[in-house]
């Protein structure tokens, strides 16, 4: 029957009693299954872990630059592994590394949250930050509200300046008119 239609007889459930078979184009079936798998892989999110390395004696400018990069990674949806590298006698003061990691976590709290708290791993201290969508949304809403408030304030200031210019122009006109009258009286 399958050969007459130019199709294949495919056993679907061999363990069923009686076994279940289906008449279909097996090549087309395999192709469509491959396409479904490919589509599901496209929709899957690929979480990438970025790494940022700090030193215990990092300068303010370098700290700010690296922290801004960590923030950008979090806004892109990536996890960030923050590593403090200790050398020599720096190993005697892990509290310095812990302080830096705490500052990083505080600086990017609006973009992400700590997933793995700081822990010593040989000569390194490691902390993992992950993106926090709720915190990001709240921060963006706050930024938009501030921008709207500044725009409203700028409009009010502009209206006040325009009003002041009108009053100033009236004062100048009246001042010019007064001396002209005074000159005629002499």
Question: From first to last of its 186 residues, what are the pLDDT tens digits of the chain?
Answer: 777 777 888 888 878 888 888 888 888 889 999 998 888 888 777 778 899 999 999 999 999 999 999 999 998 888 999 999 999 888 898 999 999 999 999 999 888 889 989 999 889 999 999 998 888 888 888 888 888 888 888 877 777 767 666 667 676 676 666 555 555 554
Q: What is the pTM of this model?
A: 0.59
Q: List, in order of start, the domains of the chain with CATH numbers.
A: 2-43 (3.10.20.80), 49-131 (3.30.110.10)
**CA dist 134 → 117, 131, 138, 140, 161 (Å):** 20, 9, 6, 10, 40
């Amino acid at each position: 029957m399958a050969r007459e239609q130019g199709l294949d007889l495919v056993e679907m459930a061999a363990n069923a009693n009686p076994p279940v078979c289906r008449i279909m184009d097996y090549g087309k079936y395999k192709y469509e299954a491959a396409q479904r798998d490919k589509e599901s892989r496209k929709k899957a999110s690929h979480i990438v872990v970025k790494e940022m390395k700090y030193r215990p004696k990092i300068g303010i400018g370098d700290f700010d630059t690296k922290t801004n990069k960590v923030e950008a990674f979090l806004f892109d949806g990536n996890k960030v592994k923050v590593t403090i590298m200790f050398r020599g006698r720096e190993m005697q003061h892990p509290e310095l590394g812990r302080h830096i990691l705490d500052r990083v976590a505080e600086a990017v709290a609006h973009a992400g949250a700590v997933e793995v708290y700081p822990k010593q791993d040989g000569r390194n201290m490691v902390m993992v930050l992950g993106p926090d969508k709720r915190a990001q949304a709240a921060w963006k809403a706050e930024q938009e509200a501030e921008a709207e408030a500044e725009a409203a304030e700028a409009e009010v200031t502009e209206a006040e300046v325009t009003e002041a210019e009108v009053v100033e122009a009236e004062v100048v006109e009246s001042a010019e008119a007064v001396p002209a009258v005074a000159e005629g009286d002499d």
